[in-house]
Structure 1
C-alpha cells in the first residue's frame, strides 16, 4: 500500500549511525519482520537470534532478564513476566499437573497463599503449608507425589527466616524441586542458586526496580528442560512484560546496589528506634538479637538484612488508623521497594483474605505493620515514626 506521494507507509530500515545510544532504546514494536520464510524458520529453530512477535520476547525484556541472570548467577537465561505473581503462576501452573503435590511455606505472600489454598486444589493439584523454618515439619508433609517446595527466604510480612540449608539438603535427598521466591532478600543478600535452589522467582516490581512505576516478574530454573518449559508456558499464557516497564526497570536496577545499602542502613536504625517507643508491642527485624531467627539470618544473609521492618502497635484497628493518619509524608500502600518509605497493613491488604484467627496464628494483628524503608534522611524518618506512634497511643 502506498500513500499519495508514492512511498511505502512503513519505511525500512532505521537510519544507520556510527555511534550508539548510551541508554537502551525503548522498543515497543509488537511485530518484527524477517527477510524470508527460511530466515524465520532459522529463528524459530534457534539457528539465528531474532524477534518475531513480542509475546515471544522483545529486546527490553531480554536486557532486564540478562541483568538478573548475572545478579543471580543463573545457570540458564531467565524469563521476564508481567508481574511477580505471573512468575509464581508460571512455576506452579507450568510445571505441575493434576495429582501432583506441592508444599508451600506457611507464611508466603498473601496471593501465593491464596493460590496454594484455592486455585491449585481446584485444578487437582494438592497442597500443604508448613513452617519453612522447621525442616522436620516440611519432611513430615512430604508425600510420594510431592514435586515441589515453594518458600521465601524471608517471609512476607512477618520476616521469619527459612532454614535454607536444611531445605536444600531435603530437596536434594528426595529429588523434590526447591523453588525460592527471593524478592525480599534480593540477590544482594542471598543467591539461591548458589545454595541449592532449583528455581528462583522475583517480583521485579519491588526493590529491584525500586520506583513504584513498574510491574514485572522473573523466573529461572537450573535444569535446562524446566527452564524451557517455563519459557514456553509464559509465552502461551500471555505473561509478556511491557517493553516500557522493562525499560523503566533497567533504569532502576542500575542503582539497585546503592539503594539497597542505604535503605538497609536506615532500616536498622528504624528498627532499633521503634523498639524504644511506648506503644510498640514488638519489633521484627532479622538484625536484632531478639529476632527468633537472628542466628540463622546472620549465617544466610551475611549482614545484608534487607530493608523491611515489621512491628506491632498496642491497640487494634483504631490505633492503626491513627498511626497512618499521623505518619505525614509516608505512603500507606500495599507495596514495597519504593525510593520512599511505605507502610503496609496486612490485615487490610495482602492478607485480608485470611480469617482473623488465621492471621493471629501467623502473628498479624490489627496493629501489625510492615515498613518498606526508603531513601529518606534517617533522622527525619525516625521523627515521623515517633509522632505517628504517639498518635496511636493517644488513640
Structure 2
C-alpha cells in the first residue's frame, strides 16, 4: 500500500488504540508520549489542539478539555485541595462563580471575591491557606482590563498563583504567561474555534510539572475533548488571526456609534479613549480590543425586549465570539445566579446588553443597530 501523507490531520474517531504485543505495551508506559492507548488518556486530535494553543500562549504544556468550564476546574485543581482557599475577581464569568460557590465548596475549597478596585491590594483578602487568584484578562460583561504584569507580580509577592481566563482577549491580543501568569485558559468554544459549532476548552501552564498535573486531572476526571470537536477547533484556529482583526475593527466602529446614540446610556469597550483602562488595553492588546462590547439602555425590561425583537443581525444567543454577531443579556443568563446585591455592585442592571460583534460587513451591522434603537 502506498504511504499516505495527509496535509490535514485525519479525525482519529476511535476510543481505543491497538497494541501488537507486550513490548509495545511496555513502551507505552516507559515512554508516555510514544503512542496512544485510550482516547480519554490522549488522542492525536486533542493533542494537536492543545499543542497549537500552547504554542500561541508560549506555554510549557497544555490540555484540551470538554468545555471552558472543565478547563477552569482543571486549573483550580492543579493548585488546590480540600481545605484551601482561592481568591476570585468579582468581575468574573457567572459560570466560574457558580463552579466555585457550588461544587468546589463541596470539595472543601472556599472562595473570596475581590472587587476590581482591590485586585492590586490582595493582602487584605489573603489567608494562610490561600493558593491562587482567578481573574480574566478582559472581564465579562463590563470589559474591564486587568494589568496582568502588575497582578502577577503582586500575586507572587504574596505566594499566590495567578490563573487567567484569556477567552475574551485570545493569545493574539494578550499572552498572560509572558506577563507572569501561571496558568492561562480558554473557552475554545468562543474565539479559538470561532464558528459556534464546538464546545471545548484548553488550559495552558507556564511550568512542565503543572502541565503534567493538568493532563492528569483531565484523564482522572474524564475531562478529555472528543476527536471530532478537537478537529473542528483546530480548523477554526487556523483563521483566528484574520477573524480577531475583523471582530476588533467592527466592535470599535459599533462602540463609537453607540457612544453617540441618544438612546444609549453607557458603552463599555476598551477601545474607546474614555474607557478607564484604555491605555493599558492598547498596550496589552497590541492595539486591538477584541469583538466584545456591552452597552446600557434605560433600565426597562420592555425596552430591552423591544430592542431584541427589532434587531435582525444580533440574535439573542447566550454565548459569544462566533463569526456571526449575537447579543446576550447578562442579568438573565451568565450572571443570573448572583444575588441582586452582587449584580448591582457589578453594574449588571436591567438595561445592560452584551454584544458579540461578528465579521459581517460593518455597514450592515451599523444599519441594523440604528433601526433597532430608533
TM-score category, normalised to shorter length: over 0.9
Q: CA deviation at 1:48?
A: 5.6
Does structure 2 retain, via aligned residues, the 8 Å contact 1:135–1:166? no
Structure 2 residue corresponding to 1:371, chosen from 347, 350, 355: 355
Structure 2-normalised TM-score? 0.96
1:119 pairs with 2:103: yes
Q: CA deviation at 1:172?
A: 2.1
Q: CA deviation at 1:40?
A: 1.2
Structure 2 residue corresponding to 1:280, chosen from 257, 260, 264: 264
Within 5 Å, which residues of 2 pair with 1:9-24?
16-24=1-9
CA distance in 2 between partners of 1:19 and 1:69 (Å): 27
Instruction: State the partner residue of 1:13.
Output: none
CA distance in 2 between partners of 1:333 and 1:104 (Å): 26
1:253-309 Cα distance to aligned partner (Å, 9 max, x none): 111100000110010000000111121110010011221222222232221211111
1:92-127 Cα distance to aligned partner (Å, 9 max, x none): 234311211110110110010112223222222121
1:337-382 Cα distance to aligned partner (Å, 9 max, x none): 1110010101111111112332121011111011111011101100
The 1:58/1:186 distance shift into structure 2, 3 A limit, reads: same
Instruction: State the partner residue of 1:3.
Output: none
Instruction: State the partner residue of 1:58.
Output: 43
Deviates more, 1:43-52 or 1:311-320: 43-52
Q: Which runs of 5+ in 2 are unaligned?
A: none
Structure 1-normalised TM-score? 0.91
Q: Which runs of 5+ in 1 are unaligned?
A: 1-15, 391-395
Instruction: State the partner residue of 1:260.
Output: 244
CA distance in 2 between partners of 1:47 and 1:353 (Å): 42
Structure 1 residue corresponding to 2:284, chosen from 282, 285, 300: 300
Does structure 2 retain, via aligned residues, the 8 Å contact 1:133–1:163? no
1:326 pairs with 2:302: no
Q: CA deviation at 1:235?
A: 0.5
SS in 2 for 1:369: strand
Deviates more, 1:94-103 or 1:302-311: 94-103
SS in 2 for 1:51: coil
SS in 1 for 2:172: helix
Does structure 2 retain, via aligned residues, the 8 Å contact 1:309–1:371? yes
1:40 pairs with 2:21: no
Does structure 2 retain, via aligned residues, the 8 Å contact 1:202–1:218? yes
Structure 2 residue corresponding to 1:178, chosen from 162, 166, 169: 162
Instruction: State the partner residue of 1:11.
Output: none
Larger Rg over CA atoms? 1
CA distance in 1 between partners of 2:165 and 2:62 (Å): 14
Instruction: State the partner residue of 1:30.
Output: 15
Indicate the RMSD between aligned Cα atoms, in angstroms.
1.4
Instruction: State the partner residue of 1:10.
Output: none
Aligned length: 374
Within 5 Å, which residues of 2 pair with 1:1-395?
16-46=1-31, 49-74=34-59, 76-390=60-374
The 1:37/1:287 distance shift into structure 2, 3 A limit, reads: same
